[in-house]
Amino acid sequence: MTEPRPQRPPTQRPPTLRDVARLAEVDSSVVSRVLRGASGANVRPETRERIEQVARDLGYSPNPLARGLRTQRTNCLALVVPQLDNPVFQQIAQGAERAAAARGFALVTYHVRDAAQERERLEHLVRSIRVDGVVIATLMMAGDAHQFFERLGLPCVLVNREAPGVPNFVSVDDEAGAHLATTHLLRLGHRRIAHIAGPHGRYNAIRRREGYERALREAGIEPETRLVAAAEYSFEGGRDAMATLLNADMTAIFATTLLSGIGALRTLDVAGRRVPDDVSVIALHDAPLAEMVTPPLTTVRFPTEDMGAEAVDAVIDHIDGLQRHLERRLPPTGLVERGSCAPSRG
């Protein structure tokens, strides 16, 4: 009356390697080799077939936890992003996923919406899931986040962001983009060009403003502080900044970001200023959104998807032991003319 192993209650436990091994009448190590398509897997064809058959019948799928524990590798990457309401991140994510898939990695996205909770959220991430590397897209404290992961020994690169002391990033050439946008307005004959800038002190905000000012100077125009308004990188930011610019004497706006450009559009409409008849507007970063507003917004396109893809490639290279440091700024890929810019009537 010895109780026969109460080991396997009728609960539907997923099949393991050993289940397959048992039914195929081989050792589990053989199953492992076969199912993994291991390199030197010298296995008799009939054995292989038997194993594969059983595995299929059982619906076997390796347990990623066990495998990861053993191999110290998960083939999984995390993309850390702030909230996704900004199309730039969607594009980054798209490129990142493409690149990850191409190299056999899964990529999961993890949101850290609030700079204040950043630390806590990241801890929660790393103690819930094991990834081989991380791509960090713009956080307030991107440098801190980078350090956080580095300390854990996790390869990690910044995307769309640069931070002091972090030699792993891929971003865009903000200065060149801003220069291109401003130059476009200048070519249309505009001379009094206002700038809806980014938040004070933000790295890429500074570089964009520099590009704007360089373009003006090259055209013999001295930049004026009162034509510049700082704004968050958001619709509301652009909308409010535009309001402060309404009385300025200008015929065109260069908005530092798609969202703030759209905010500007809205304020101009409310104020009864016609775009592009009264005011031309151009913004940095292209996205489907630019097509949806009235009038459709002329933009400078950046290779945002490529940015995500390059970041992922760099992280995977790191993981593979190629200690590739990466400091990359991708130039703009062109101007997308839509309906929001017209020649100056000046």
Beta bridge partners of 136: 80, 158
State phi, psi for 86 to the nearest 5 degrees: -95, 120
Give dist(CA 146, CA 171) in Å, integer.
Answer: 15
Side by side, the strands of the sheet bearing 228-230 are 228-230, 193-197, 252-255, 280-284, 298-301, 334-336
Which is nearer to DNA, 35 or 290 (by Cβ)?
35
Q: Which of 293, 311, 315, 316 binds its own copies (CB under 8 A)?
A: 293
By the rule CB under 8 A, 291 interacts with its own copies? yes
Quote the tokens at residue 171.
């971003």
Q: Between the CA of residue 323 and those of 26, 104, 163, 280, what are the distances in Å?
A: 41, 20, 19, 46
SS3 297: coil
Site for DNA in 19-78 (CB under 7 A): 25-30, 32-33, 35-36, 38, 42-44, 47-48, 60, 62-63, 66-67, 69-72
Maximum Cα–Cα distance across the chain: 102
Which is nearer to its own copies, 132 or 174 (by Cβ)?
132
Which residue intervals of 103-229 are DSSP H helices?
A: 118-128, 142-151, 174-187, 203-218
Which is nearer to DNA, 128 or 225 (by Cβ)?
128
Q: Which of 152, 199, 327, 334 binds its own copies (CB under 8 A)?
A: 152
Interface characters, 3-22, with DNA (x: CB under 7 A): ----------x--xxx----
What does the binding site for DNA look like in residue numbers (CB under 7 A)?
13, 16-18, 25-30, 32-33, 35-36, 38, 42-44, 47-48, 60, 62-63, 66-67, 69-72
**List of residues contacting its own copies (CB under 8 A):** 12, 14, 59, 61-66, 68-69, 74-76, 78, 83-85, 87, 90, 93-94, 97, 101, 105-106, 108-111, 113, 123-130, 151-153, 235, 262-263, 265-266, 269, 288-289, 291-296
